[in-house]
Amino acid sequence: MTFGSRLHDAIDGRGRFCVGIDPHPRLLDAWGLTDSVNGLEKFALTAVEAMAGTVAVVKPQSAFFERHGSRGIAVLEQVVRAAHDLGALVLLDVKRGDIGSTSQAYADAYLDKNSPLHVDAITVSPYLGTGSLDPVLDTALAHDAGVFVLALTSNPEGPQVQHATTRDGRTVAAVVLDAIATRNTGAEPLGSIGAVVGATVDLPADVTAENLDVHGPLLVPGIGAQGGTVDDVRRVFGSAAAHVLPSSSREVLAEGPDRAALHTAALRAIDTFSALA
């Protein structure tokens, strides 16, 4: 099955929510853990064991594993395996973006089924030009994996690039969204190439609900601790809200290290966004 099909089925069976696994030093400390490989492993696997059997998608933030070196990457491999064993899809938040053979190497690292870090989908940056993503997108589709392309992010610096106007008068965000939609042409029930659009963004004038409907999933961070609500999702996405995959990490992870509390927080998030179905 394609990633789009697997995600569609996962949301249908488990609800519309993606939980981030972000082993930030402050969260490790809040859980009473050391900022070490041992603390990282305890934190990440506790979170996965508490929630990956319930949520549709688990999204580890690669940087917080990479900062611990090769042993941190080994923990990330454990997290991916454990989440898959519990039936969740794994979206690795790596935001890679490069050209040519380097772009292909990133694709091989995360999307080739023979890689030890093989996941269901990754995040990528399109700001070397949407064509620079071709090796990643082609590899993803060849291996029935997915890609989420940054389009409209909620950080205050984002509009400097994303709202900038191209030679044909469209904003960069609109160009990126159109490129994603083109890749998903004809895909049913859902394309495998998605967009990342923040829950609280201000849309440029040439981006509407019609543009946001890229015939693929819309990963929507900024939920919960960052202030995004169901009403924000409805306001920003309109008719495209049916394709939204809300994502939250800190608000849910703050309930740890108690496994039951983490599980309850995940169920609460799923219920909150069930109205978008």
Helix axes 100-111, 134-142, angle to 10 degrees: 30
- Residue range 197-201: mean pLDDT, rounded: 92
d(CA 120, CA 273): 22
Residue 157, exposed/middle/buried by CB under 10 A (0-12, 13-18, 19+)? exposed
CATH of 3-276, one of 2.60.40.3140, 3.40.50.970, 3.40.50.450, 3.20.20.70: 3.20.20.70
Q: Quick check: is 113 catalytic?
A: no
- Residue range 167-195: mean pLDDT, rounded: 97
**Which residue, 68, 179, 174, 170, is CA-closest to 133?**
179
Q: Which two tokens stand for residue 58?
A: 């688990």
Tell me if 242 sits within 8 A of 214, measured CB to CB: no
d(CA 272, CA 230): 7
Q: How confident is the model at residue 224 (pLDDT cuts 50, 70, 90)?
A: low
| Catalytic residue of the set 42, 59, 95, 113 | 95
pTM (predicted TM-score): 0.97
Alpha helix ranges (H) inside the chain? 3-14, 25-30, 37-51, 62-66, 69-85, 100-111, 134-142, 159-162, 172-183, 209-212, 230-237, 250-253, 259-272
- Residue range 242-257: mean pLDDT, rounded: 95
Q: Which two tokens stand for residue 257?
A: 């290290």
**Which residue, 196, 99, 109, is CA-closest to 145?**
109
Per residue in 261-277, pLDDT (tens digit) is: 999 999 999 999 887 75
What residue segments make up the domains of the chain, in order of their start?
3-276
| Model confidence at 225: pLDDT above 90 | no
Per residue in 110-166, pLDDT (tens digit) is: 999 999 999 999 999 999 999 999 999 999 999 999 999 999 998 999 999 999 999
What integer pLDDT is reported at residue 176 of this predicted model? 98
| Model confidence at 46: pLDDT above 80 | yes
**Which residue, 158, 157, 132, 160, is CA-closest to 147?**
132
Whole-Å CA distances, 251 to 41, 48, 247, 262: 20, 15, 10, 10
Share of the chain above pLDDT 70, in %: 98
Tell me if 187 sits within 8 A of 213, measured CB to CB: no
Q: How confident is the model at residue 60 (pLDDT cuts 50, 70, 90)?
A: very high
